[in-house]
Structure formats: C-alpha cells, structure tokens
Amino acid sequence: MVLCLRFKNPSPVPLEVEGLTPEHLSSLSLSEVERSIIFQGNRKVPLGDYFRASGDPSDAVVHWEGDLAGVHWIGAKMTAGEIRVIGNAGRHLGSEMRGGRILVEGNAGDWVGGEMHGGLIHVHGRAGHLIGAAYRGSARGMTGGTILINGDVGNEIGHTMRRGMLAIGGDTGDLIGFNMLAGSVLTFGETGIRHGAGMHRGTLGFFGPTAPPLLPTFRHACRYRPDILKLTFAHLRELGFPVPVDAAEMEVDLYNGDMIEGGRGEMLIRAAA
C-alpha cells in the first residue's frame, strides 16, 4: 500500500508542507504522520487538521489527494521515493529535490523544481513561472534532474540553470534560459520573447510551429538534423512526455549566443518547411 494524504479541510490561508518527504514519513505511524507540524501562514498546525492519513507510510510512496493549489513546498528537498499529486499542486513543488519522482495529475504553481539537484518531476497539466530557476540572489538554478510539463508555462523558465533538462509541451512565456549556465530546455509550443538573454552555455530548443524572435546577439551557424535529438525525443517518450510524431525527422537551424557572454550557447529552432 501507499500513504494517502487526503485534503479534508480547505484553508483560507496557504499551507506549507516542507519536510514531509517520502523518506521522512516512511518511519512514522499514521498517528505520527497526522501529528506532523505544517505551517498555515505563520502558524504551526498539525497535518491532521487538514489531511486524513491512511495506508502504509513505510513504502516511501505518498499520494496527496485534492485540490492542493494552496498547498506549497510538496516534495521539497526529497531525496528518494515517489510522490503523486492527484489534483493540483501549489508553489515550490520539488524545490531543491535530489532524487525520487514527483507526478502531478493536474496543474502546478510557480517555482516547480526551483534549484533542483536530481530526480524527476512530471506535471501533466500547466505550471507557472520560474520553473527550474534560481531563487532571487542565488548563483545557480537547477543543477540536475528532469522536469516535464505537458501544458503551458510562464516566464523565466530555466533562469540561471546549470545542468539537467526541462521539456515543455505547451506554450511558454518570455525569457527562457535567462542567464543560463548549462543544461537543456526544450519547448514544443508557441513562445514569447528575449530567450537566451545572458546565456553562457547550454541548449535551448524551439520545436513549435512558430520560430521565436531572436535577440541580435545570436548568430546563425548552420541548418542540420542532429542525431542527438532522436535519442532525446525517444527518452522523453519513454518517460511519458508527448513528443510530436514528426519531431525526430525535422531539420533545425542552429544559432550561437549570447555573444555578449562569449557565444558558447546553442539555440535550435525548427527549420521552416
């Protein structure tokens, strides 16, 4: 069995559940789980005031059930195990996580995988801004792992990203890969503007129907069909991410930039037919 935490009492004030990771909960009894302390705003309250616990915590598999859009920090700093959110999730989902899997059947808020170090996050719906990004004032964002968002997302995804992969199936906002240090961000929908500003290294892939406008500090290098994309797309499909059928055979235009930062980053844009 798994540990099921069912939302029973919606709160007018956001809840924060940082620290309730699968590895921590696996050593507790059900009564101890419900006595675990969470925050309602700036108040400490027992988890059992808002969630009903059932099942077996020892399996290190946790199901959070209900509309949890106002429940933040689910899976933050987890190192192992699995979390499944059967509903929506709030902000900071999987923040600073190092291992394990988080699956969200609905939507998620801002800062999904903020400064993530490892593991897998897969959101089947939409997500907000600053996915895989650095927190304000931090030198590095995401440094490892994989984040998959099937739907639309907001602005500044991959901000100061250092390593790992983001894949977005829907539309995106502005400033993808702002100050990016390394890693890969792949998008398959429509996108905004000013992508790759301050980019040092890494790969930005734009495989949607419309090419994004480029900053003048990116230069065209060539048109080709990278073999690595076939392997990458096959891997994404194995993870359950909806890669378009024709993606593996498409040609891309390669641009290098940001020239202000040395021009070592690469931007791959689906070539016009």
DSSP line for 105-162: SS---S-TTTT--SSEEEESS---S-TTPPPTT-S---EEEEEEESS---S-TTTT--
Report which DSSP code applies to 191. Answer: -
Per-residue pLDDT of 61-71, as tens digits, reads 999 999 999 99
| CB contact burial 156-186 (16+ within 10 A = b; e otherwise) | bbbbbbbbbbbbbbbbbbbbbbbbbbbbbbb
**What is the pLDDT, as a whole number, of residue 45?**
97
Domain range annotation of the chain:
110-270
The pLDDT of residue 166 is above 80: yes
- Taking the C-alpha atoms of residue 147 and residue 160, their distance in angstroms, rounded to an integer, is 15
**Burial class for 206, CB neighbours closer than 10 Å (0-12, 13-18, 19+):** buried
Instruction: Find where tokens 């192992």 sit.
Output: 80
The pLDDT of residue 246 is above 90: no
Residue 234, SS3? Answer: helix
Q: How confident is the model at residue 15 (pLDDT cuts 50, 70, 90)?
A: very high
Residue 232's region, left for phi above 0, alpha for psi from -120 to 50, else beta, is alpha
- Taking the C-alpha atoms of residue 149 and residue 156, their distance in angstroms, rounded to an integer, is 14
- As beta bridge partners, residue 174 has none
Residue 28 has phi, psi (to 5 degrees) of -110, 155
Please give the mean pLDDT across all residues of the chain.
97
Q: How confident is the model at residue 9 (pLDDT cuts 50, 70, 90)?
A: confident
**What is the pLDDT, as a whole number, of residue 211?**
96
The pLDDT of residue 249 is above 90: no
- Taking the C-alpha atoms of residue 47 and residue 68, their distance in angstroms, rounded to an integer, is 14
Residue 100's region, left for phi above 0, alpha for psi from -120 to 50, else beta, is left
**What is the pLDDT, as a whole number, of residue 11?**
87
Q: Which secondary-structure segment (H or E) carries 35?
A: helix 30-35
CA triple 66-236-189, angle to 5 deg: 75
pLDDT cut 70: percent of the chain above it: 100
Per-residue pLDDT of 33-66, as tens digits, reads 999 999 999 999 999 999 999 999 999 999 999 9
Quote the pTM value: 0.97
Residue 253 has phi, psi (to 5 degrees) of -95, 130
Per-residue pLDDT of 182-203, as tens digits, reads 999 999 999 999 999 999 999 9
- Taking the C-alpha atoms of residue 271 and residue 258, their distance in angstroms, rounded to an integer, is 20
- Taking the C-alpha atoms of residue 189 and residue 172, their distance in angstroms, rounded to an integer, is 7
**What is the pLDDT, as a whole number, of residue 247?**
87
**What is the pLDDT, as a whole number, of residue 248?**
79
**What is the pLDDT, as a whole number, of residue 23?**
96
Taking alpha carbons only, the member of 57, 63, 67 closest to residue 26 is: 57
Per-residue pLDDT of 68-124, as tens digits, reads 999 999 999 999 999 999 999 999 999 999 999 999 999 999 999 999 999 999 999
